[in-house]
């Protein structure tokens, strides 16, 4: 699923000007990619936060006035250490014909049986790193965890991907465990 966000180019600003930009409801960002120049932009903060709350997965189409749109993936975001407010976002530009390395978010569905026995769900990893052409990348990896018993662990190797997707994360890395408190 692709999300559309209106973006505007920006110039390098001093910290005080960046604070003013954030106060006006805009979020500073940068777009980088292979064989392209880095581009400093700003986007609507509220629209981006809505996308984050919806799961923050899939491609984003950055639309510019008078310029072609850019298809990007969220690479990183920085938050204020005290207020947790968004400070800056990094986007990776997607080249449709080049293999892309990214992290696919993991979504867990259901409540494990082990929690009824007093177990607690511990999430160790919220994303799996993969490589593939953009058209083969899933937006999210879903697991049904309702059958998990106390003491069971879900690993990266339990995820299934299309044959065109190469998993970079170690197969024995834990995604989720149901443990005794």
Tokens in use for 88? Answer: 């800056």
Residues 19 and 90 in one domain: yes
Residues 16 and 78 in one domain: yes
Q: What is the pLDDT of residue 1?
A: 59
Residues 37 and 69 in one domain: yes
Q: What is the pLDDT of residue 28?
A: 92
Compute the distance between CA of residue 92 and CA of residue 30 in angstroms, rounded to an integer: 9
**CATH number of the domain bearing residue 141:** 2.170.120.20
- The backbone torsions φ and ψ at residue 144, rounded to the nearest 5 degrees and listed phi first, read -95, 110
Q: What is the pLDDT of residue 181?
A: 81
Contacts of 72 (CB under 8 A, 6+ apart): 31, 59, 60, 61, 62, 91, 92, 93, 94
> Tens digits of per-residue pLDDT, 121-143?
999 988 899 988 888 888 888 88
DSSP-based three-state secondary structure for 108: strand
Compute the distance between CA of residue 48 and CA of residue 89 in angstroms, rounded to an integer: 10
Single out the residue in 95, 129, 154 at which a domain terminates: 95
The pTM (predicted TM-score) of the whole model is 0.68
> In DSSP terms, which residues pair with 128 in a beta bridge?
104
Regions in the chain scoring below 70 on pLDDT: 1, 56-57
Single out the residue in 56, 76, 95 at which a domain terminates: 95
Residues 85 and 10 in one domain: yes
Domain that holds residue 87: 3-95
């Amino acid at each position: 699923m692709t999300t559309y966000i209106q973006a505007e180019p920006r110039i390098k600003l001093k910290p005080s000007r960046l604070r003013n930009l954030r106060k006006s409801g805009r979020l500073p960002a940068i777009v980088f990619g292979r064989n392209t120049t880095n581009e400093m932009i700003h986007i609507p903060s509220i629209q981006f936060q809505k996308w984050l709350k919806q799961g923050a997965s899939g491609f984003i189409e950055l639309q510019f006035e008078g310029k072609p749109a850019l298809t990007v993936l969220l690479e990183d975001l920085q938050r204020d250490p005290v207020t947790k407010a968004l400070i800056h976002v990094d986007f990776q530009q997607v080249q449709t014909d080049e293999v892309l390395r990214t992290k696919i978010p993991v979504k867990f569905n259901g409540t494990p049986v082990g929690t009824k026995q007093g177990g607690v769900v511990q999430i160790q990893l919220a994303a799996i790193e993969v490589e593939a052409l953009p058209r083969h990348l899933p937006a999210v990896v879903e697991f049904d965890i309702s059958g998990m018993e106390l003491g069971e662990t879900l690993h990266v190797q339990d995820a299934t991907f299309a044959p065109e997707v190469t998993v970079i994360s170690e197969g024995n890395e834990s995604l989720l465990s149901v443990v005794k408190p």
